[in-house]
Amino acid sequence: MASLRRVKVLLVLNLIAVAGFVLFLAKCRPITTKSGDSYHDIHPRAEVANLTAHGISSIQDAVLKRLSLLEDIVYRQLNGLSKSLGLIEGYGGRGKGGLPATLSPEEEEKAKGPHEKYGYNSYLSEKISLDRSIPDYRPTKCKELKYGKDLPQISIIFIFVNEALSVILRSVHSAVNHTPAPLLKEIILVDDNSDEEELKAPLEEYVNKRYPGLVKVVRNQKREGLIRARIEGWKVATGQVTGFFDAHVEFTAGWAEPVLSRIQENRKRVILPSIDNIKQDNFEVQRYENSAHGYSWELWCMYISPPKDWWDAGDPSLPIRTPAMIGCSFVVDRKFFGEIGLLDPGMDVYGGENIELGIKVGATG
C-alpha cells in the first residue's frame, strides 16, 4: 500500500504543477533527472519571449516532457512490484519476439523439479519478462481492417489451479498490453482452490497494486472443476462480452477487435480466436495454420481443414465457420451464454464442452 500511496502523491503533485504552469506561465528551475548513467536537464517551461514566438506548441512540449517524466517515475514504482516476486517486466530479455528462451547449465539443474511439477519449464518462465513481445502472425489483410469505435466491452476470464505464478501474470500482462483499454472491462482470475502459497496473498496483492480496479480474483472454497469454475467467472463478469481462457496464454495485438466486431454483428455467435502454440520447454511461439474444429469418431475435438468455400474465397482474413470448439479459448455474448444455459455443471469431463456448446449454438442458428 505504501508504494501505491507514493504513486498517488506523485500523480497529484505533477497534476498541480502542470495546472499551475498552464494558468500562470511562470518560470521554473530545470528538473534534473537520471537517464541510465548520465544526467540531463528538463526545462518544462519556456521563457515568456519564447512563448510569444511559439505559442501553444511550447506549452504542449513542456506538458509532454513533464508527463513523460511522471510516466517513468510511475513505471519504476510499479516495476518494483514484480521484482519483489522475483519476476521481470519490460519488452526485452529472454524469449523476446517469441524466440526460444534458454537456461545456463547451472539453471537447467534447478529447473528439473518445477518442470516435472507443472508440465512446463516454470523456472525458465520466471526468467522471461511478463511483457515479452511475440510475433504477429495475422495475415496482412487482417492488419489493414478497420473497426468501429462502438465495439462492446469484454470481460476476460482466466481459470487456473496450481498454475505457475509467472505464467498467470504473463497472461494478465499480455491481455492488458494487447487489448485496447476502452474495450477491456475487466480481467477475472478464477482460482479453483489452489494450494500453492504464491497464488494466494502474493498474487492478490500484486494485481491489486499493479492493476487497481481492473483485475478481480475469485476464490472457489473447494475444487469445482473446469466447467463450474468458468461459470463462477461468468457470474461476476460485468462486460457485455465474456472471453474464457486458460491462464497460460499470450495475446497478440489486434486480437480483440475482430472478435468483438463479429459478436456485435450477431450476438448468437461463439468466437474461437485463432490459436498458435507456446512450446512447454523453451516458450517458443510456434505458428499454427488456419483451421476449423471438428470431431473424431470418438467425439474428440480435433483440428480439421477449413471448408471448401473458405478456400475458394482466397481471403485468409475471413472467419471460418466450424461445427465444434475447444474449451480453452472462446468468446461469447454474456447474456446469450446465459440464455442457452451456460455449460452443464454436471458434465465436468475433459472435452465435454466441445460437444455441448457445438450442439447448443448450432441449434440456435
Q: Cell match 497494486: residue?
A: 209
Say which range, 100-114, 148-162, 225-239, 332-346, has the weakest mean pLDDT.
100-114
In the chain, what are the domains? 77-127 (no CATH), 140-364 (3.90.550.10)
**Gap between the Cα atoms of 306 and 137, Å rounded:** 18
Residue 326 grid coordinates: 475447444
Tens of pLDDT, residues 202-246: 999 999 999 999 999 999 999 998 889 999 999 999 999 999 999
Residue 310 grid coordinates: 473458405
**Gap between the Cα atoms of 281 and 275, Å rounded:** 18
Task: State yes or no: pLDDT of 70 exceeds 70.
Answer: no
Residues of the chain above pLDDT 90, percent: 45
- Which pLDDT does position 189 carry in this prediction? 98
- Which pLDDT does position 77 carry in this prediction? 55
Task: State yes or no: pLDDT of 306 exceeds 70.
Answer: yes
- Which pLDDT does position 14 carry in this prediction? 53
b/e for 225-253, b at 16 or more Cβ within 10 A? bbbbbbbbbbeebebbbbbbbebbbbbbe
- Phi/psi at 343 (nearest 5 deg)? -110, 145
> Do 59 and 51 meet the contact criterion of CB atoms below 8 Å apart?
yes
Contacts of 51 by beta carbon, 8 Å cutoff, 6+ apart: 25, 58, 59
Q: Tell which wins on pLDDT, 149 or 29.
A: 149
Residue 177 grid coordinates: 498490453
pTM over 0.85: no
Pairing of strands 277-278, 285-286: antiparallel
- Phi/psi at 108 (nearest 5 deg)? -55, -40
> Do 128 and 95 meet the contact criterion of CB atoms below 8 Å apart?
yes
Residue 49 grid coordinates: 519571449
By C-alpha distance, which of 103, 147, 135, 140 is closest to 122?
103
> Do 239 and 153 meet the contact criterion of CB atoms below 8 Å apart?
yes
> Do 192 and 229 meet the contact criterion of CB atoms below 8 Å apart?
yes
What string of H, E and C letters represents the secondary structure of the chain?
Answer: CHHHHHHHHHHHHHHHHHHHHHHHCCCCCCEEEEECCEEEEECCCCCHHHHHHHCHHHHHHHHHHHHHHHHHHHHHHHHHHHHCCCCCCCCCCECHHHCCCCCCHHHHHHHHHHHHHHCCCHHHHCCECCCCCCCCCCCHHHHHCCCCCCCCCEEEEEEECCCCHHHHHHHHHHHHHHCCHHHEEEEEEEECCCCCHHHCHHHHHHHHHHCCCCEEEEECCCCCCHHHHHHHHHHHCCCCEEEEEECCCCCCCCCHHHHHHHHHHCCCCEECCCCCEECCCCCCEECCCCCEEEECCCCCEEEECCCHHHHHHCCCCCCCCCCCCCCCEEEEEHHHHHHCCCCCCCCCCCCHHHHHHHHHHHHCC
Positive or negative torsion for Cα 62, 63, 66, 72? negative
Say which range, 47-56, 126-135, 236-245, 268-277, has the weakest mean pLDDT.
47-56
What mean pLDDT do residues 245-272 have? 94
Task: State yes or no: pLDDT of 35 exceeds 90.
Answer: no
- Which pLDDT does position 181 carry in this prediction? 94
Radius of gyration of the chain (CA): 24
